[in-house]
Structure 1
Amino acid sequence: MPLPDLLVAAIALVRDRRVLMVTARGRDVHYMPGGKIDAGETPAAAAAREAFEEVALELDPDELVELFEVVAQAHGEPDGRLVRMRVFRAETDAAPAASAEVGALHWVTTADVGRCPPAGAEVLRLLAASGVID
């Protein structure tokens, strides 16, 4: 019996042709600020909540614009377990800051694709294809 897909939401905050990614404490893989969608929560609300929890950005879920959904093998999960990540464009002049669960912030381009799990790598490819990051 296949494992259920992981339903997650993430933000894409782009500045100077780079997108914000984070690393968890004690790990070196880059991932999009985001996380699992809780029961009864909209994907946009989850993206806003996770952005606040991980990078201290206060975002209005109603102002987030969904860019795309990425479906890929879930990082660190058994083969065949997929992550379905809904990615929302975030716009704010506020400075992101690493929370207790985040080790570091990174402004990345497609040059960093090798440091990303499958879903993050696909996000970088899609953002580059749309012309917003290098």
Structure 2
Amino acid sequence: MIDKIAWLHLVDGRVLCARSRGKSLFYLPGGKREPGETDTETLVREIREELAVEIAPASARPAGTFEAQADGHAQDVLVRTTAYTAEYTGTLTASSEIDEIAWLGHVDRDRVSTAGKIIFDHLRETGLLR
């Protein structure tokens, strides 16, 4: 099981996604925790590293946990994504490890990871993603 923390940032019915350098699929920004990190600490660090903005830790709120087949891994490897909403300060900027950031809607579902598809479907069902 791959355990990831992700930032779920929605604006006007679209969700912020990132595409790593050399990859073709988009995902929710975030990543794996380092030893001893809490979910919030992981969220703050990963978003700073990927998007050069500062998450306000006190504003982080759970938005759901989603499991799916891990892209690019054996069939028996799952990824668990725990998503959080949170406020931030700064200007969203793709870091050196990110090729592209984009605001995606449900119509872009085929451009995201397997876990992303599950999250996109959930957001569509709840009326948050157009």
- The equivalences for 1:8-87 within 5 A come to 8-87=4-83
The answer to whether residue 121 in structure 2 is matched with residue 120 in structure 1 is no
Displacement of 1:93 in angstroms is 6.0
Aligned-partner Cα distance in 2 for 1:75–1:61: 29
RMSD over aligned CA atoms reads 1.3
**Letter of the 1:91 counterpart:** E
Displacement of 1:61 in angstroms is 2.5
Match of 1:91 among 87, 90, 93: 87
**Number of paired residues?**
130
The answer to whether residue 107 in structure 2 is matched with residue 111 in structure 1 is yes
**Letter of the 2:29 counterpart:** P
Displacement of 1:126 in angstroms is 1.4
1:23-56 C-alpha deviation (Å, 9 max, x unpaired): 1112221111010011211112211211111011
Q: Secondary structure at the match of 1:128?
A: helix
Aligned-partner Cα distance in 1 for 2:111–2:32: 21
The answer to whether residue 2 in structure 2 is matched with residue 6 in structure 1 is yes
Unaligned 5+ residue runs, structure 1?
A: none
For the Cα contact (< 8 Å) 2:56–2:86, is it kept in 1?
Answer: no
Identity level (%): 32
Aligned-partner Cα distance in 2 for 1:121–1:91: 24
Aligned-partner Cα distance in 1 for 2:35–2:25: 27
TM-score, normalization by structure 2: 0.93
Unaligned 5+ residue runs, structure 2?
A: none
**Letter of the 2:94 counterpart:** A
